[in-house]
Amino acid sequence: MWDYRCLDTYIKDNRSTNLLTASTNKKKVCFLVLDQGTSSTKSFLFDIQGTLEHSAKIKHSLTRPAPYHVECDPITILEACRFLIDQALSIVKSKGGTIQSMGLAVQRSTFLFWERKSLEPRTQALSWQDSRAHSIIKDFEPYQNQIKRITGTPLSAHFGGPKYLHCLIENPTLKQEVLSGNILFGPLSAFLTHALTGTPAVDESIACRSLLFNLSTGKWSEKLLDLFQVPRFSLPKLVPTEYSFGTVSTGDIQLKCVVGDQQAALIGQGGWKTGTLAMNFGTSGSVQFNVGRGPALIPGLISSILTSSNTSKMYMVEGTINACNSLFYHLEKELNIPHEQMHWHKRCQERKTNGVFIPGFTGLAAPYWASGFPDICEGIDTSDPNDMIRAGMESIGFLIYDILEQMKPIATSWPKKLTASGGGARSPLLQFIADLTDLPVCHSTMRDRTAYGVYQLIRPKEKNLSKFEESYFNLTFHPSMTKDQQKSKVNCWHKALGNAGLIK
């Protein structure tokens, strides 16, 4: 459980126009965003012009009760959300202002069961990192092409359908309660929406991670519901990302948007335009590519809804990386390094390695989709922790390279630069990506682009956003490797994947 000692609150941008300090007779209006992530829940208050006025964060922890089991406590997260909403409301009211509406970005492939009436969770929330359902995945391999064609998503133990069936196989009592209609199953976002507004609903961008959603029709797929033995009545209602979810009871605030965190990150980096490509690095990593008004199916990548309303949809193709910041938390334990001494970006900055590290502790996502396996080290000096850390960091860059190579065939024109945001977008990683891709990599000046993306979805559409240009960056990393060096590094990576049986 969290407590107030975990609360990290800070005020930003105290200019004279600040919503919370400005002196005016006009009632002040702002917008509240919650970004519910893997390791923390954050709140943000934006004014009507898009200026960030206040931000707060409550951390929470994951548990790993068994190999490839990764869980979080949904009640802990719900309490954090309620506290942050109450806090934001109190701040705004103390200044004579009002919160016009609220939006919510949520980690996507985290699923749980909860009681329909009491809202009591019947399981922990199975994290997006959780791959306990790997034991049943082989049973569905004959259907993997059909699953990809319907959902736009590769077959993987990380997603909703396999998690659902695994839990019911392991717990026959839970199965009987689900069949009686007493239990709901869905993503963490749907549980939070149900608890905050009284309405159990899942937005289309997050429904894409269920392996139950038909990307073309925008409905639950009857074929896949049957395949994973999921009764339709056990699922929350499907709705667009921009939707009137209801009133948040804790503060009489209208929840107007629920969206996947990586979708929000792309929008926050100016991803409204077809052909826009952006990277985001947090606990996990992601490369997102806006493909416009219709879905595009790419081998090894996820096709999903970027954002939707009652009148329109935008789609994206995405490559996800399970081990980003989570990789370094993992290496802290593996190498016995205290968290306050890790500073992975400093350890990597002046390092070089000829070794390859393949992170298997949460499995590989795009473009290989391998369930959890022991970490693989080739050519690493295991007596030197920094060699392991550098090779681990490079694994992120290699996966970015592989994802981008998969995206190239659908791009009518390839970007002349890459953009990156998020807390894991550190200098040595961005430099390595620039070296591998032979493209400049630009770092966003605004760290919390996910929150800004949600704000853009709930803001008044007629307002100009002159205060935060989407293209504004503070650092650019230019390629420094020769072509031969690039080729040698990538070949070593692919050879290690081949030796591990991850590619043919």
| pLDDT tens by residue, 336-364 | 999 999 999 999 998 999 999 999 998 89
Flag the least confident range among 15-24, 213-222, 237-246, 357-366: 15-24
pLDDT at 464: 54
pLDDT at 460: 82
Q: What is the mean pLDDT of the chain?
A: 90
Q: Mean pLDDT over residues 365-372, rounded? A: 91
Under 8 Å between Cβ of 429 and 448: no
Note the pLDDT tens digit of each residue in 279-295: 989 888 999 999 999 99
Note the pLDDT tens digit of each residue in 160-195: 999 999 999 999 999 999 999 999 999 999 999 999
pLDDT at 9: 39
213, 456, 494 from 134: Cα distances, Å: 20, 38, 24
Q: Percent of the chain beyond pLDDT 90?
A: 78
pLDDT at 466: 44
pLDDT for residue 65 is more than 50? yes
pLDDT at 21: 45
The pTM assigned to this predicted structure is 0.89
Q: Mean pLDDT over residues 373-390, rounded? A: 94
pLDDT for residue 142 is more than 70? yes
Q: Percent of the chain beyond pLDDT 70?
A: 92
Give the C-alpha separation, 95 to 21, whole Å.
7
H/E stretch holding 194? helix 188-197
Q: Which candidate, 45, 11, 9, places its Cα nearest to that of 28?
A: 45
Give the C-alpha separation, 155 to 164, whole Å.
14
Q: Mean pLDDT over residues 400-416, rounded? A: 92
pLDDT at 248: 93
pLDDT at 8: 43
pLDDT for residue 5 is more than 60? no
Question: Three-state SS for 30?
Answer: strand
Give the C-alpha separation, 369 to 384, whole Å.
30
pLDDT for residue 374 is more than 80? yes
pLDDT at 176: 96
Q: Parallel, antiparallel, or unpaired for β 253-260 and 277-281?
A: unpaired
Long-range contacts of 481-484 (CB under 8 A, 24+ apart): 481/435, 481/436, 481/438, 483/438
Helix 188-197 vs helix 74-94: crossing angle, to nearest 10: 50
pLDDT for residue 127 is more than 90? yes
